[in-house]
Amino acid sequence: MTKKDRFSGIIGWFSENMPVAGTELHYETPFQLLVAVILSAQCTDRRVNMTTPEIFRHFPDPQTLAAASFEELFPYVQSISYPNSKTRHLIAMAQKLIDDFGGEVPSGIDELMSLPGVGRKTANVIASIVYDKPVIAVDTHVFRVSHRLGLSGGRTPEAVEKDLEAGIPEDKRAVAHHWLILQGRYICTARNPKCGECGLVQWCREHTAKDKTEQ
């Protein structure tokens, strides 16, 4: 089976069985999504969603967050992984949003990556969800699922991103990002993947290799 066949089959299956997919993070504005995505690094969406309501209640916009001190914000962030650095990043991010972008979340990847706490993955998430840019954000779930399915053999997130963007049509990239995340979060888990519940096994490189070994 060629990689092109895998992409075609997998995209077709998701399009039929999961036509609508989106982020599980709760937010109301682009700024709130940016805060939530920064907090979600190496942390579950569930934990972030438990934490952000109080953050958004006290710091609903860049202006209030930029004016906050570390001591004021930290108690609302402390249940999240790496709370010290994330608290500093959030305040600095809000300040830079005001100073450089008039308090608006920018749409460009490079502009987003200029914000404290924002790497390529976070920038791609924001660009995809908020601005419908045809980019793929590669987190640990997307990285793992892409390798297991045989969609990429890239050794870095950037390499996997290039492979996925080469194989997925532009109009499918925004939703495909969520397809792969949800697949990795609930089916193709890091430990004990639920292959018996997976609709993608006929295109899965790892499953095919396992079958050949067992024959």
Residue 130 has a CB neighbour count (10 Å cut-off) of: 18
In the set 86, 100, 139, 210, the catalytic residue is 139
Catalytic, 212? Answer: no
Let me know: does 126 contact 37? Beta carbons within 8 Å: yes
Q: What is the SS3 assignment for 142?
A: helix
Quick one: tokens of 126?
Answer: 């924001």
Q: What is the SS3 assignment for 42?
A: coil
Q: What is the maximum span of the chain, computed from C-alpha positions, in angstroms?
A: 64
Catalytic, 133? Answer: no
Cα–Cα separations (whole angstroms), residue 210 to 28, 36, 172, 206 = 44, 38, 30, 6
- What are the residues whose beta carbons fall under 8 Å from the beta carbon of 13, sequence distance 6 or more? 199, 200, 203
In the set 86, 121, 210, 211, the catalytic residue is 121
* CA 7 – CA 12 distance, rounded (Å): 8
* CA 110 – CA 107 distance, rounded (Å): 9
- Looking at the annotation, which residues are catalytic? 121, 139
